[in-house]
Amino acid sequence: MSGMTNVELMPARLFLSSGDLVADRRFDFARDLQLKGDLAAAADLLMQAIEIAPRFASAWFTLGEIRERLGKRDAAIVAFRKARDTDPDDRHGASLRLMLLGAEELSDMPPAYVRALFDQYAPKFESALVDDLGYRGPALLFKAVLAARHAVRKAAFFKRAIDLGCGTGLAATAFAREVDHFIGIDLSPRMIEKARLTGLYAELEVADMLEGLRSKPDASADLVLAADAMVYVADLVPVLKQVWRVLVAGGLLAFTAETHDGDGVIIGEGLRYAHGAPYVCASVELAGMRLSQLEELSARNEDNTPVPGLVVVAAKV
């Protein structure tokens, strides 16, 4: 699997029925034509489906994609906005397409989009990520955390750890011997089901990471991990502030990020956020933590090329 976006990672494409059989059938034909490369005819059929069912979010979203491929930027923006208006939870992630087209300011990912993406992705997540994309986020975090502990001559043993965006549990697998009590938090119920099967988590929660952290008492964790999860969070500061609150003094936060040469946060073609190194440093500082390590290391490949990444370790002082 090379050069794929999150949408292409999905085993099945998200489809929200219009509730009208004829409109749904027109949509199916349009998809066939789209896949065969006849984009103009597919767009015509989608317009017919939309005439029958004006609130057909999947049709609007697909029309947006086709118009974009046809180079019709303004018309694509109209369609993506309609897709979001007709499905306010935005399960297709139309707002991400609008951000990528430069039609809207960067904002957080719709939680329903992340949930739908990973619920569909869960059954083949590990093989796709580890085998096809050479995913190495948990191993990089493990090495970085050991080095950070070694530097302050402390044992790398943690009584309580929180795994943000725990997915199927790959980070807990990497840290299993070093952690007594693992708490996993993830937006996707299907990913959480997979994590449960590892038997490595004492607690698992289906929640947004910010909400999950907010529900934890002050100074209740020794380690917080986020492996390949901050790529779904635009503004790191609110999460890092909560991490600071739940960590004990001397506790560690370790996370991977995707990055770019500039400052600030951008959204990439893969529909994941990339955080500039200066932005990451400033966010860690704003949250009241001290940076222990910021290394340019890539957690995964795309097109067989490492995606520019950062491995970050910060301590609560």
Q: Which is nearer to ligand SAM, 192 or 294 (CB)?
A: 192
Does 186 bind ligand SAM (CB under 6 A)? Our answer is yes
Write down the least CB distance from residue 164 to ligand SAM, Å: 6
Nearer to ligand SAM, 64 or 137 (CB): 137
Kind of pairing, strands 289-296 and 301-302?
unpaired
At which residue do the structure tokens 């980070």 appear? 171
302: contact with ligand SAM by CB under 6 A: no
Among 87, 90, 208, 222, which residue interacts with ligand SAM (rule: CB under 6 A)? Answer: 208
- Dihedral Cα 49, 54, 55, 57, nearest 10 deg: 40
Q: Does 228 bind ligand SAM (CB under 6 A)?
A: yes
Positive or negative torsion for Cα 136, 139, 145, 149 = negative
How is residue 307 annotated by DSSP? Answer: P
Interaction of residue 187 with ligand SAM, rule CB under 6 A: yes
By CB under 6 A, tell whether 65 contacts ligand SAM.
Answer: no
As a three-state string, the secondary structure of 217-248 is CCCCEEEEEECCCHHHCCCCHHHHHHHHHHEE
Q: Tell me which of 7, 16, 96, 209 binds ligand SAM, using CB under 6 A.
A: 209
- Amino acid in position 287: A
Identify the bridge partners of residue 254 per DSSP, sorted by sequence position: 225, 313
- Give me 247's structure tokens: 């960590």
* C-alpha to C-alpha distance for 213 and 210, rounded to whole angstroms: 5
Residue 110 touching ligand SAM (CB under 6 A): no
**Residue 30 or residue 227: which is nearer to ligand SAM going by CB?**
227
> Binding residue for ligand SAM (CB under 6 A) from 171, 204, 257, 267?
171
Does 309 engage in binding with ligand SAM (CB under 6 A)?
Answer: no
Residues that bind ligand SAM (CB under 6 A): 114, 118, 137-138, 165-167, 170-171, 185-188, 191, 208-209, 227-229, 232-233
